[in-house]
Amino acid sequence: MSKISLKENLGQMLMIGFNGTTLSDELKEMIADYGVGGIILFSRNIESMSQVKDLCNSLQELSIRSYKIPLLIAIDQEGGRVFRLKPPFRQYPSYGELGRTGSEDAVRSNALLMADELIEIGVNMNMAPVLDINTNPKNPIIGDRSFSADPDVVSRLSAYVINAFHEKEIIAVGKHFPGHGDTFSDSHLELPVVNHKIGRLEEIELKPFINTFKTGLRAIMTAHVLYPALDPDYPATMSERIITDILRKKLGFNGVVITDDLEMKAITNNYSEKISAIQSVKAGVDILLICNSRDKQIEMFNSILMALESGEIKEDRIEESLYRIARLKKDFIKT
């Protein structure tokens, strides 16, 4: 692929959030001029089923008209306290509630019903299931978003969610690699640190990821968490040791890697937009998630572009991500 075509397709590595419930001029520009490859929806974007369905259709039509490439349209729809589709959309129990029942049938039926709703409105990617292990009762952010404190239970029930989503052609995104379950702080507010040794991480935190890779998980979201035993310098999102050496090479994951929101304070309190964008791509991430600020979305795009032009980011690193994103879209999105 030539450097010119790399530049033209670089926006595929961005997934953005926005304000409003319609296709604004600013959002049109991000899709038509910057070629962003993904959109994430929040409650602020949703008024009704008909409105959000029209919005998703408009987004897809613009992307296909501009680039002949469909968008990933994502949402955080876990159930329990993390959901974006308010009533009259169906409300779902948390993973913790489902995990306590141990019912595989309940997990699968909930996931199928959820997938049907997402299909109806035009969403093709769900930032779920949560693969974190609920080992720390003082964790302020995970808790009942996890199926269990037992990695085998999390592995088993998550596989039912993933298979149900994929059966309906909704892309499942396992999160938060390599594990956010045993933190004492919230990465939305600060940078958590997990001091476990490698052996413990492999036995507990990594186990659901390893197991669901075997059952067909195609996308994961990174954790904005520092794991000194794995990389003393960078949180997982920005760590080449974690994303490339462990996730890609050791565990053999060849799917799409998405950052958690790069506007969370775990990142912004410690790194500039330029550094977080460039270092995440160099680490092996495929898609940068930027959920709010249009200015930061453009700044991160330009930072990657300049790093590509200067040679700081190698062309083959970009080509790898573009290939993985294109393959995922081809396999799941019918246009």
Question: Which of the following is catalytic: 144, 260, 261, 286?
Answer: 260
C-alpha triplet 131, 136, 140: angle, nearest 5°: 85
The β-bridge partners of 79 are 82
- Torsion, Cα 297 303 308 309, to 10 degrees, reads 120
Three-class SS of residue 285?
coil
Instruction: Give burial (CB, 10 Å; 0-12/13-18/19+) of 50.
Output: exposed
Backbone angles phi, psi at 193, to 5 degrees: -125, 130
C-alpha 278/C-alpha 274 separation (Å) is 6
**Is-catalytic flag, 260?**
yes
Q: Degrees (nearest 5) of the Cα angle 173, 43, 139?
A: 55
Pick the catalytic residue from 188, 224, 286, 316.
188
Active site residues: 188, 260
